[in-house]
């Protein structure tokens, strides 16, 4: 068989491919890379990799790792940010090339979910991985902890009075960890939840009532509802939890005197989510927005706020938004986010109930 032209193969690949030398200068770029970076091949060939990505981009540390290990690395769910384009979630492959590994070949596969809504979608991955971890934690951590707590209680009776603060500390700390694990139980795999017609305004009224009696006592809450909104196909308790977490965050973000909070509902046409396994699309016409006038979410935190244990608060668990993601995901919904120095708005898009639909989550 005649030898195939390797350069031609690389050029016709539908994925973006770059080759860089020892000092990260680009020595090869295919037409897909041109599209991916929205930069012509000739400009790419005059650039170095650090010119293409933002300064703090983890790509640079990824390639130095591949160089050090002298082996290929693949990273999924990579947040690719370039100075010219919005952040995208991609899979990056990075492999040393040549006998002396003097070059590195990089390929970038963009995930199907593009754009801002897609950005929100990728947060589902964090909720999914958390589910597995929650099940493991409940099993591996809670059982031994109850033994530790019991032993500390027994010890408490026999140790001298001045040492009791130590046994108290053990008991209090085991209680705290148990509580955390209980909260994480809410993430366990495939919860069978009933779904039915839910009046989203009744859900939101309930959330406002809870907020006003507690954490939102000082807030002015405006409720702007679309009265013609059809019912959501959902689970009332779970939806209350979703909006309670979002309203609580909004109240906590508010800084006097800007203590206004807007809760809005709208019917939006044309928002669809591709359900890949079912090769179908799910309509998500019901949009609920929770908007505050707080200082916004810092840019460096934005890619991670939906991940568990990410919190900027002294007493925060960082599980609030991870749980919101998981519950919205269970409904087949989407979370979108607008944030800036004048405030933050979380938009939740949910499916409506079609005629006579009632179900558990099996037939989503
Ligand atoms: N409306 C908002 N405005 C500004 N920052 C926000 C807002 N909502 C969330 N955040 C940021 O996202 C982080 C994660 O929120 P999340 O609800 O997951 O955890 P938390 O609120 O810190 O803890 P917990 O929910 O357990 O009280 C918060 O610590 C905060 O920094
Ligand atoms: Mg919170």
Residue of minimum CA distance from atom 12 in ligand 1: 305
- Per CATH, 8-111 and 196-363 having the same topology is answered no
120, 180, 311: residue to mutate for ligand 1 pocket, most atoms within 8 A of CB: 311
Percent of the chain with pLDDT over 70: 80
Phi-psi region of 236 (alpha: psi -120 to 50; beta: other; left: phi over 0): alpha
Residue of minimum CA distance from atom 22 in ligand 1: 311
Ligand nearest to the backbone CA of 255 = 1
Residue of minimum CA distance from atom 19 in ligand 1: 318
Residue of minimum CA distance from atom 23 in ligand 1: 316
Question: Which residue shows structure tokens 């909720």?
Answer: 127
**How high is the pLDDT of residue 128?**
59
Please give the CATH architecture assigned to the domain spanning 8-111: 2-Layer Sandwich (3.30)
Residue of minimum CA distance from atom 7 in ligand 1: 249
180, 245, 290, 313: residue to mutate for ligand 1 pocket, most atoms within 8 A of CB: 313
Domain ranges of the chain: 8-111, 123-185, 196-363
- For the Cβ of 340 lying below 6 angstroms from any atom of ligand 1, the answer is no
pLDDT 10s digits, 139-166 = 677 777 888 998 999 999 899 988 888 8
Could you tell me which of 312, 334, 328, 309 has the C-alpha nearest to residue 320? Answer: 309
Contacts of 7 (CB under 8 A, 6+ apart): 28
Q: Which of 18-32, 68-82, 95-109 has the highest mean pLDDT?
A: 18-32
Looking at 3.40.50.720, 1.10.287.1770, 3.40.50.980, 3.30.565.10, the CATH number of the domain 196-363 comes to: 3.30.565.10
pLDDT at 233 over 60: yes
pTM equals 0.60
**How high is the pLDDT of residue 116?**
37
Q: Which atom of ligand 1 is nearest to the CA of 292?
A: 1
Q: Which atom of ligand 1 is nearest to the CA of 294?
A: 3
Contacts of 217 (CB under 8 A, 6+ apart): none
What mean pLDDT comes out for the span 293-299?
94
- For the Cβ of 253 lying below 6 angstroms from any atom of ligand 1, the answer is yes
**How high is the pLDDT of residue 113?**
36
């Amino acid at each position: 068989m005649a030898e195939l032209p390797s350069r031609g193969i690389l050029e016709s690949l539908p994925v973006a491919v770059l080759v860089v030398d020892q000092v990260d200068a680009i020595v090869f770029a295919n037409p897909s890379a041109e599209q991916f970076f929205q930069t012509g091949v000739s400009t790419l060939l005059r650039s170095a990799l650090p010119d293409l990505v933002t300064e703090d981009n983890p790509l640079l540390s990824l390639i130095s790792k591949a160089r050090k290990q002298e082996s290929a690395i693949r990273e999924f769910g990579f947040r690719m940010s370039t100075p010219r384009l919005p952040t995208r979630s991609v899979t990056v492959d990075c492999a040393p090339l040549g006998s002396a590994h003097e070059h590195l070949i990089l390929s970038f596969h963009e995930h199907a979910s593009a754009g801002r809504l897609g950005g929100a979608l990728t947060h589902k991955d964090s909720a999914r991985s958390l589910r597995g971890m929650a099940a493991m934690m409940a099993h591996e951590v809670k059982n031994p902890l109850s033994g530790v707590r019991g032993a500390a209680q027994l010890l408490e009776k026999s140790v001298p009075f001045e040492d009791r603060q130590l046994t108290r500390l053990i008991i209090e700390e085991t209680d705290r960890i148990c509580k955390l694990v209980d909260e994480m139980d809410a993430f366990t795999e495939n919860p069978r939840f009933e779904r039915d017609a839910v009046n989203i305004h009744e859900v939101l009224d309930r959330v406002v009532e809870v907020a006003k009696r507690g954490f939102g006592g000082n807030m002015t809450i405006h409720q702007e509802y679309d009265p013609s909104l059809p019912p959501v196909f959902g689970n009332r308790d779970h939806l209350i939890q979703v909006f309670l977490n979002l309203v609580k965050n909004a109240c906590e973000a508010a800084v006097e005197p800007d203590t206004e909070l807007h809760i809005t509902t709208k019917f939006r046409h044309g928002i669809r989510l591709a359900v890949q396994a079912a090769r179908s699309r799910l309509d998500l016409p019901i949009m609920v927005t929770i908007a505050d006038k707080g200082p916004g979410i810092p840019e460096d935190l934005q890619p991670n706020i939906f991940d568990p244990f990410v919190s900027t608060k002294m007493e925060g668990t960082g599980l609030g938004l991870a749980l919101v993601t998981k519950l919205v995901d269970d409904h087949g919904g989407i979370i979108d986010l607008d944030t800036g120095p004048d405030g933050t708005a979380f938009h939740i898009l949910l499916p409506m109930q079609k005629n006579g639909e009632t179900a558990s989550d099996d037939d989503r």
